[in-house]
Copies of this chain bind each other. A is one copy, B any other.
Amino acid sequence: MTGWVAIVGLGPGRETLVTPEVRAVIDEATDIIGYIPYVKRIAPRDGLTLHATDNRVEIDRATHALTLAQQGGRVVVVSSGDPGVFAMASALFEALEAQPRFADVAITVHPGITAMLAAAAALGAPLGHDFCAINLSDNLKPWSVIENRLRMAARGDFAMAFYNPRSRSRPVQFGQALDILREECGPDRLISFARNVTHEDQRLRTVTLGEATEDMADMRTVVIVGNSATRRVGGHVYTPRSAE
């Protein structure tokens, strides 16, 4: 009998942000598959096998999930945040498309709190009007695509949220992104850095683009750039609902 694959989002870290729907799916699983730190968040129990793998093997991991499900497993693929936002859901469908032998496996996706919305909530409401979400990593797309998206987002006066702004293997590109943003938006635009959002060591910092430097972000940081109306009120940052 064929089993199923459920792709779930564990939220950004705080356990009270995991939805009851995701908890219920995990309770039914025979197998959990995912990146090491996310699998570590799942409590071991009898009848549950934990399969933790390293980063950047998303298609192998997806194929493994489909294989176990076709053998009858009830397989949960765990992502942090929301599985449909720069996470495992797309990788699963890519693997399915490339391997039609898995066409009979039932697949469901269960949403989670994505990092940018947890960061926005911690900051106030910087994404309270039209906004874009951009993955700044060029592992899977050329930098020219990212540069064009930054310029189009700025010219549409969107607020922006950036995932994967900077890593050890990509130390300088975030500085290039800041240069593009300063050119398009000017030096006074607000930019917020939310590191380890919802974790105990969460750190929030808001500066202007003129003040921003590339070392303010790392791979555990979500970056939010305001639109032309974004401003501070008290200790919060917010974007009004209206535009002119």
Contact = CB atoms under 8 A, between A and B. Distances in A.
A94 B242 CA distance: 10
Contacts of A236: 93, 107
Copies in the complex: 2
Interface in A19-48: 19-21, 24
A39 B179 CA distance: 45
A104 to B, nearest CB: 9
B121 A129 contact: no
B121 A90 contact: no
A205 interface: no
Nearest to A20: B16
Given A156-B149, A158-B149, A89 B128 contact: yes
A240 to B, nearest CB: 6
Contact of A19 (B17, B85, B141, B240): B17
B19 A127 contact: no
A113 B18 CA distance: 10
A109 interface: yes
A157 interface: yes
A223 to B, nearest CB: 14
Interface string A209-244: 000000000000000000000010110101111111
Which of A85, A92, A97, A113 gathers most chain B CB within 10 Å? A113
Contacts of A234: 96, 103, 107
Interface in A96-120: 96-97, 103, 107, 109-114, 117-118, 120
Contacts of A94: 238, 240-241
22 contacts: A18-B20, A84-B125, A89-B121, A89-B238, A90-B128, A90-B239, A97-B233, A107-B234, A107-B236, A109-B121, A109-B122, A111-B113, A111-B120, A113-B113, A130-B135, A132-B132, A132-B133, A132-B158, A140-B241, A145-B157, A145-B243, A151-B156
Given A16-B21, A90-B125, 9 more contacts: A16-B19, A16-B24, A82-B117, A84-B128, A93-B124, A132-B153, A142-B243, A148-B157, A152-B156
